[in-house]
Amino acid sequence: MGKQWVLPKKPAVVITGASSGIGEACAYRFSQIGARLALLARREDRLERVAERSRELGGEAHIAAVDLSGSDATKRAVVDAEAALGAIDVLINNAGFGLYAPLESVPRDDLERLFAVNTFGPLAAIQSALPGMRRRERGHIINVSSVVGKRALPMTGAYGASKYALHGFSDALRVELRGSGVEVSVICPGFTKTEFSDKVLDYGVERGRPRAGAMSAEDVADVIFECARRPRTEILLTGKGRTLAWLQRISPKLADWAIARTIAVRLPRLEQGS
């Protein structure tokens, strides 16, 4: 039987997608308790800036510039992080990107890249971190998903599918690790004010930018930090998200109706002769 989870005083924390947004905010939040951090992302210059600020806040920070869409590269980066930190207490799988477009127009190459970053990357990180966690009978895996990982909205079918998959293996993993001392949590933010929305692939499709009720990266990081202290299975961060997930459970048809009433779908015009 594994030990009951207690967040160490100065935990060793690996954060993917740590160069901006939620990942960056998590680095600063954990630094406030003197965490030992391994920060993973593609942009080395941004990672250096985040690491410097993390040290100013009281943390210890190591960086690794890595393309998290490559499973082998991700696995090596996590193994190296464990060697640098001496252990991994918390793994925060935060790296990801979005895609907003009707499914009929999503190229396979973009779909494969989406799953590589949002689904296969987190799995690769987990597979590298788990052996050490299981040996120590202590660890916490926190997967950052999305409200659309519970119910995809129009134009988010591809992105939502990559997050559904993240939920699927998180659910299975949680039971596989029952009694091992390793916790698994899923965090589902709604719209968050970060660079993420500016980098969404949309192929020129018009998309709304909700403002009311949007969370800050710091708000989400606070929730992740509290989850690291007191593990929860799944956290949906918005009331609308919780309502939609509930509707989806009791009646997918009712969820369809509610979404159609709320969101206007504007499909691109077909070219003449199509």
Q: What's the CA angle centered on 85, arms 32 and 18, to 5 degrees? A: 55
Bridge-partner residues for 91, per DSSP?
Answer: 14, 141
- CA-to-CA distance for 96 and 174, rounded, in angstroms? 21
- The CB density around residue 21, as the number of other CB atoms within 10 Å, is 24
Q: Which residues contact 176 (CB under 8 A, 6 or more apart)?
A: none
**Which segments of the chain are extended strands (E)?**
12-16, 36-41, 60-65, 90-93, 139-144, 182-188, 192-193, 215-216, 234-236
Total residue count of the chain as it appears in this document: 274
CB-based burial label for 227 (10 Å; 0-12, 13-18, 19+): buried
Q: Which of 28, 100, 159, 164 is catalytic?
A: 159
Determine which helix (DSSP H) or strand (DSSP E) holds 220, and give its type and residue range: helix 217-229
- CA-to-CA distance for 35 and 21, rounded, in angstroms? 19
Instruction: Pick left, alpha or beta for residue 21 (phi over 0 → left; psi -120 to 50 → alpha; otherwise beta).
Output: left
Is 28 assigned a catalytic role?
no
User: Which amino acid, one-letter code, is at 193?
Assistant: K
What positions carry a catalytic annotation? 159
